[in-house]
Amino acid sequence: MKVQQIYTGCLAQGAYYIESQGEAAIIDPLRETGPYLEKAKQNNVKIKYIFETHFHADFVSGHLDLADKTGAQIVYGPKADTTYEKYTSKDGEEFKLGDVTFRVLHTPGHTPESTTYLLLDENGDEYAIFTGDTLFIGDVGRPDLAQKSGGLTKEDLAGWLYDSLREKIMPLPDDVIVYPAHGAGSACGKNMSKETWDTLGNQKKNNYALRPNMTKEEFIREVTEGLLPPPQYFSKNAKINKSGYESIETVMERGAVALSPIAFEQLANEQNALILDVRDKEEFVKGFIPNSIFIGLDSSFAPWVGALVPDLMQPILIVAPEGREEETVMRLARVGYDNSIGYLEGGFEAWKNSGAEIDTIHTIGVGTFAEAFDVNPEINILDVRKPGEWSGEHINSAQHFALDYINGNMDKIDKKKRYYLHCRSGYRSTIAASILKSRGFENIANIQGMFDEIVDSNIPTTDFTCPSNAN
């Protein structure tokens, strides 16, 4: 038996490859099928099953393409209704894979169809559980993402989750390995550990939601308090995973098209396309195509696209580092943005060399910012961090302008005023600055530097408290 976690950091997502005696199963695959097909080919095995733990909200699963290419059976747990062919399993049903067995444990709570798959080894012993978003390391799945289904409330689902954990998961042996679908950085929970697996025994000791004497009322209160609104794309991705999508090959063929600067500009105007610049933030601020939006590849790229671009079918033109254009198209498709229509051949240098117009963002260091504050403590400061970070510690005179909710809060700022933007490290403030520039805010200064440097400067901040939602 072979069990391998395939972890994708930018989505904080874990897919799984399990192999036994010439047969393999994939659990919660990402959109791109290549890694799973390559593993099966290298090991000369056939992919027999594609197990889905639930309808994922934070990414588009690769189950349909993978089933089409391998003939593998797509398996969901009870209560999973789809518009495509799949097998709906029953609670307690078992599936043989070579010498090992998967047992279905219906564990509703995160969503009504949420299911845990218990892996029994060659001897029939309980070896591991693949918990999806039911149980994370240090946390449990948020119960508010499917609350509109059948008139359910988040309290209803939290109550189901309490029962699922205590009736299906906690009675299992302590040495069973817990393999969740996500780790720290995912918005599917509140306070997940950076660890991506653990033993169930350790979780019983350390996970607040598994306290042995915890009442259902305590559990419901603790898992529902402090929940931030989910990213706007979550419900759309869940719908795609229920109803299906275009093949990834079609998406890649449409998006991975090299365009000259002239063709790029023409297509941008004809299609009313979003120009998405995914280079490093230091490069972007020095020069970019006017009205471009910056979301750098080398951070939480896909989740930020999902949070900030409302329309999944928005035509997108890409400005990327050379050699990373197709990667960008793929990473957009992971979260359902399938309408990439091309990229700038030769990158931003080609645009600049063509003599076309460019724009810049005024960028300063923490030292310059501190000097400006010393001269005028009444300057307008926008803190674009998350609410948990803001409540943990912030500049006394700053205005909270969380990047997550920028589209709904543009009326809170004035184009006539000058604003200084900051986050924790400069990545999110650069995204915010690019959005403001694209909407006609010219008088802005983007602070590049760590928030710790601001705290250590002469600028007064609130007393530090441990942030509850600092992802």
Q: Which of 299, 331, 353 is the last residue of a domain?
A: 353
Asked whether residue 263 falls in the same domain as residue 215, the answer is: no
213 and 153 inside one domain: yes
**Residue 49's CATH number:** 3.60.15.10
Q: Is the same domain home to 265 and 348?
A: yes
Q: pLDDT of 176-209, one tens digit each?
A: 999 999 999 898 988 899 999 999 999 999 999 9
Q: Nearest 5°: phi and psi at 444?
A: -130, 150
Does one domain contain both 158 and 207? yes
Last residue of a domain, one of 237, 270, 287: 237
Pair 191, 321 in one domain: no
Torsion of CA 87, 89, 93, 98, to 10 degrees: 30
φ, ψ for residue 322, nearest 5 deg: -60, 135
In tens, the pLDDT along 58-84 reads 999 999 999 999 999 999 999 999 999
Residue 470 falls inside a structural domain? no
Q: Is residue 83 part of a domain?
A: yes
| Residue 132, in any domain of the structure | yes
pLDDT above 70 for 468 = no
Residues forming beta bridges with residue 381, ordered by sequence position: 420
Cα 282 to Cα 266: distance, rounded to the nearest angstrom: 27
Chain segment 270-317, per-residue pLDDT in tens = 999 999 999 999 999 999 999 999 999 998 899 999 999 999 999 999
- Compute the distance between CA of residue 416 and CA of residue 434 in angstroms, rounded to an integer: 17
334, 415: one domain? no
Q: Is the pLDDT of residue 228 over 90?
A: no
Q: Which CATH number does the domain housing residue 408 bear?
A: 3.40.250.10
Domain stops at, among 219, 237, 255: 237
Q: What is the pLDDT of residue 4?
A: 97
Specify whether 340 is located in the same domain as 431: no
What is the arithmetic mean of pLDDT over 98-123? 98
Q: Is residue 466 part of a domain?
A: no
In 3D space, the residue among 135, 116, 112, 138 whose CA is nearest the CA of residue 52 turns out to be: 116
Residues 179 and 317 both lie in one domain: no
> In which domain, by residue range, is 304 found?
246-353
Say what the pLDDT of residue 299 is.
86
**Whether residue 322 has pLDDT greater than 50:** yes
Residue 148 has pLDDT above 80, yes or no: no
Q: Judge if 143 and 22 occupy the same domain.
A: yes
Confidence of residue 465 (pLDDT cuts 50, 70, 90): low
Residue 463 domain-assigned? no
What pLDDT, on a 0 to 100 scale, did the predictor assign at position 471? 38
Q: Rounded mean pLDDT of 243-260?
A: 97
Name the pTM for this structure.
0.92
Within 225-376, residue ranges assigned H as helices are: 234-243, 248-255, 261-271, 281-286, 301-308, 325-333, 347-353, 366-375
Rounded Cα–Cα distance for residues 400 and 389 (Å): 10
**287 lies in some domain:** yes
Q: Which amino acid is at 77?
A: G
Specify if 471 maps to a domain. no
Same domain, 153 and 297: no
pLDDT number for residue 191: 84
Q: What is the average pLDDT across 401-409? A: 94
Domain count, the chain: 3
233 and 276 in a single domain? The answer is: no
Question: Does residue 256 lie in a domain region?
Answer: yes
Q: What is the DSSP letter of 167?
A: I
- 92/458: higher pLDDT: 92
CA dihedral (435, 437, 443, 447) in degrees, to 10, reads 50
pLDDT of residue 380: 97
Q: Are 437 and 376 contained in the same domain?
A: yes
